[in-house]
Structure 1
Amino acid sequence: MKRKSPMVIAIAAVSGGGKTTIASCLKGKLPNSKTIYFDDYDFDGPKDIIKWIDNGCNPDDWDLSPLIRDIKQLLSEPLDYIILDFPFAYLHSKTSSLIDFTVFIDTPLDIAMARRINRDFKSGSSEDIILDLDNYLARGRQGYITMLDSTKPNSDLIVDGTLPKFEVAGIITQKVMNIE
């Protein structure tokens, strides 16, 4: 039986955990799909991320209205899948009812940090990298830990983030195809 609306699949991970990479890989593996990337938006949310982390990282502190609008628009299109590069899994109250399946890419924090440095500091100075690492050690790491404690257990599938991207995408694709 054919689904009446697209299956919405959210891909979550810590920063540097592989959300964008895996969402892009899935776009090539899941037929008739479109991808929405969280980082393509400029959301209204906490101005002080460290304070937000200290206060428990509540996803509902973010106004995701532009993302919600785009998901709803794609739900009306003749698609089979909508792939979301999305850090909150089911935890944001206004998006949870729009998501059918969530995946958490469980990437060790050292690997995620190395990927983030490679991604974010290609043309940065060593001082910029050291400052970022100091911030991570002093306060930012708690945000990663909170995500592991909240988002990971609220996901339908947990995939080993140390696997090659084609394997991660293959595991997700196989699982999603078996749901239908």
Structure 2
Amino acid sequence: MRKLPVIIAVAAISGGGKTTIAKQLNQKLENVKTLYFDNYNFEGPDDIINWLDRGANYEEWNLAPLVKDLEILLSESLDYIVLDYPFAYKHTNMSKFINIAVFIDTPLDIAMARRITRDFKNKSVDDILSEMTNYTAQGRRGYLEMLKTIKPNSDIVIDGTLPLLETVNKILQSINSST
């Protein structure tokens, strides 16, 4: 009987380092493939603040395209599958696949600085100020939701201020000790 791959979900707030860590794990692990949450257009809540006010039910996200791709990878002879995936175990359709959920605990100011650097490098100062206004008025609540629900729902919590390679090595040590 074929051994199933170890599925590692990497979660963090936006700008927290999910994609960077997932790419590094993809390079460091052998016989691995990675799926990236941002490569999909999921059906989900149109208004995140309203979704938060209604209790932040993660089941409202239709993750069928990601589940389908994950099931395809499970049919391959892989040792690992890395998921750049922000929900840890909070979505039933995905949680049944995950072996290890890692949360990168990045301070909100660092994550915001990364987001601005990444997403607004070709935008105007007015666009950046508008984003900051939205963040302080209501967007920050989405970040806090993840700290309240995803972080404690993860197997491993890693300090998001650590250097990249140190972070990846800590994750690899945890994977090796749990498999």
Q: Percent identity?
A: 57
Q: How does 1:151-170 map to 2 (within 5 A)?
A: 151-170=150-169
Structure 1 gaps of 5+ residues are none
2:157 is the counterpart of 1:148: no
Corresponding residue for 2:126? 127
Which residue does 2:11 correspond to in 1?
12
- Aligned partners of 1:153, 1:168: CA distance in 2, in Å? 18
Q: Distance in 2 between matches of 1:9 and 1:122?
A: 31
Match of 1:35 in 2: 34
Q: Shift of the alpha carbon at 1:59?
A: 1.2
SS in 2 for 1:98: coil
Cα RMSD, aligned residues only: 1.2
Residues 55-110 of structure 1 show CA distances to partners (whole Å, capped at 9, x for unaligned) of 23221110000000011111111000000000000000111101110000000000
Structure 2, unmatched stretches of 5+, are none
CA contact (8 A) 1:3 1:80 kept: no
Q: Across the two proteins, how many residue pairs are aligned to each other?
A: 179
TM-score, normalised on structure 1? 0.97
| Conserved 8 A contact 1:106-1:161 | yes
Aligned with 1:143: secondary structure?
helix
Which residue does 1:104 correspond to in 2? 103
Offset, 1:52? 1.4
For residue 49 of structure 1, report the CA deviation from its aligned partner: 1.9
User: 1:69 corresponds to which letter in structure 2?
Assistant: K
Q: 1:138: which partner in 2?
A: 137
SS in 2 for 1:45: coil
Q: Does 1:21 align with 2:20?
A: yes
Q: In structure 2, what is the Cα distance between the partners aligned to 1:92 and 1:100?
A: 14
